[in-house]
Chains A and B, each alone.
Chain A
Amino acid sequence: MINWGKVWSDFFIFLALTSNVGFIFSHDPYQLVIAIGVNLLATVLKFGAKKILAAELLATALVADLHLIPATILYFMETHVPLAIGLAIGAAVANVISIVMLVIEIIFEYQKEEEI
């Protein structure tokens, strides 16, 4: 059975990474606005999730946000643009870690189901 709630939340977590990477390569303002919006949505989606790695997942999402918000400000001020790109790369790393943990989480849950 497919869990549609999971599709929904995982979709935003993956989209956060892809849009972030998109910005790193395109340096495009539209992409940056999308990236920050999706990253914020992914953070909010992790609120209240009672999973094994819930705290770590929320922490990585907050790290990504705190990289992207200053990156957006710097980018649109047109000062330190290379630094803004650097921050976006940092956010991408946080998003990758988030996905790795998501996979670990899935393995844990799979084992749990088997035990029962």
Chain B
Amino acid sequence: MAERKKKKKHYGNVRPKSYRAIYEEKFYDILLQLRYPLMTVIFFTTMGVLILMILNNRSDGESVLNYFFHTVITFSTVGYTEGYQTDPSHLMLNRFFATIFIIIAVPFVYMYGLVTTVNVFMNSNIDEIYRYWRMYKAMEKLKGHYIICRFNGITKELMKNLRKRGIKYVLIEPDASLEKEIIEFGVEYYVIDEPHKRSVLLGVGIEQAKGVVTAFEENTQDLSVIVTARLIRPDKDSFMVFATATTEGAAEKMRLLGANEVIVPDVSVGRRMTSFVLHPPSPVLSGFLEKIAYGERTDMDIIEIRIEESSDLIGRRLKDIRMRQETGATVVAIVRADGKMKIAPSGDAQIKKGDSLIVLGHPKALKRVGEFFKQYKKEEVKTA
């Protein structure tokens, strides 16, 4: 019930576009093309059996099977008289019928029926339809994935890193001419469509997705995707929207309209260049934190743990909670409520109200950290 209520939430009444159904319909279209060839085969087989039954005045099982066999071998041009050889009394009549039947049925069944069927199968590239159908069937089951709009340098880099981490994503690309490149790049799930349409976003599973990344070259297209996605999923915490903008002004608008983070590529690159100028590169340290922050290192990650106001961790010292011993991750900084950062805190540092802990460690250790803090939450519920 709760799920149903949730589904009704998004504005308007737009049906999700079912990409699987499009390709199922294409299979169905092939059946449509087979309609007339199959009909001729069935019609002439029935007529052949019936007429042979009437001519020979026999309707026992053995004879009917013989007539069926005889009809099929006649229009497959394999044999001619086997079916009625056992009964010499009507031989001439049977021969006469067989002649007429061959003249009429063989062109229809053998030429038209067979040739059309082969033609349909040769021209309808079933394997291609099957490939799409399988992809979209799997896509419908995705949960907690990201939706990426536009296939370009930025999203290529993003997809490469997501793949390394095993995060699923669906690519939406409006330009059909890029499809070959997308396949070559090895994108697992993609649709060729306009990402600002509600039906398209619903069709790629925005209601189960974790977020959307839109990186168009034009701000207008990014804006329309952000607004559409935000109208369907209004909650900023459960659904992330990330975008690129060409200017700071556009970025500000995008943030106001619902984007969680907006990157201006020119500004970001400029800043990174500045950091190189100010901190001359060293072989070990160069870009160390950036590599962690950008997810280039798969063996190390950094997360932020927010201490809830009612948490019973407040007032305790870091060494007392024994987080490092239990999880293997380290608190590298504490961000206080007023925004001040305490870097490399000692074991005596106290956890205060409104704090955030910055934790560094192996991704597996960080998973344990999440569970470690959940434990405290549970205790808190119990005591309350």
CA of A33 to CA of B61, assembled, Å:
12
Is A108 located at the chain interface by the 8 A CB criterion?
no
Q: Are the C-beta atoms of B42 and A33 separated by less than 8 Å?
A: no
Q: Are the C-beta atoms of A37 and B28 separated by less than 8 Å?
A: no
Is B31 located at the chain interface by the 8 A CB criterion?
yes
Q: Are the C-beta atoms of B28 and A41 separated by less than 8 Å?
A: no
Q: Which of B25, B42, B47, B64 contacts A29 (CB 8 A)?
A: B64
Q: Are the C-beta atoms of A45 and B45 separated by less than 8 Å?
A: no
A9 closest partner in B (C-beta): B35
Q: Which of B33, B59, B60, B61 contacts A30 (CB 8 A)?
A: B59
Secondary structure at chain A's binding surface: helix, strand, loop or mixed?
helix
Q: Distance (Å) between the CB of B30 and the closest chain A CB?
A: 8
Q: Which of A37, A38, A48, A50 contacts B33 (CB 8 A)?
A: A48
CA of A37 to CA of B65, assembled, Å:
15
Known contacts: A37-B45, A48-B28, A76-B65. The answer to whether A30 contacts B53 by CB under 8 A is yes
Q: Are the C-beta atoms of A47 and B59 separated by less than 8 Å?
A: no
Is B261 located at the chain interface by the 8 A CB criterion?
no
CA of A58 to CA of B151, assembled, Å:
41
Which range contains the number of A residues in contact with the other chain? 20 to 34
Known contacts: A29-B53, A78-B61. The answer to whether A48 contacts B39 by CB under 8 A is no
Q: Are the C-beta atoms of B35 and A33 separated by less than 8 Å?
A: no
Q: Are the C-beta atoms of B50 and A34 separated by less than 8 Å?
A: yes
CA of A100 to CA of B381, assembled, Å:
60
Known contacts: A29-B64, A76-B65, A77-B61. The answer to whether A37 contacts B43 by CB under 8 A is yes
Is A96 located at the chain interface by the 8 A CB criterion?
no
Q: Are the C-beta atoms of B50 and A30 separated by less than 8 Å?
A: yes
Question: Using an 8 Å CB-CB cutoff, how does the interface string of A43-78 with B read, 1 for contact, 0 for none?
Answer: 011011110000000000000000000000001111
Is B46 located at the chain interface by the 8 A CB criterion?
yes
Q: Which of A34, A36, A44, A75 contacts B38 (CB 8 A)?
A: A44
Q: Are the C-beta atoms of A45 and B64 separated by less than 8 Å?
A: no
Please indicate the chain B residues that have their CB under 8 angstroms from the CB of A36 in the complex. Answer: 46
Is A24 located at the chain interface by the 8 A CB criterion?
no
Q: Which of A38, A40, A44 contacts B35 (CB 8 A)?
A: A44
Interface on B for A, CB 8 Å cutoff? 25, 28-29, 31-35, 38-39, 42-43, 45-47, 49-50, 53-54, 59-61, 64-65
The 5 closest A-B pairs by CB, nearest first: A48-B32, A37-B46, A76-B61, A29-B59, A47-B31
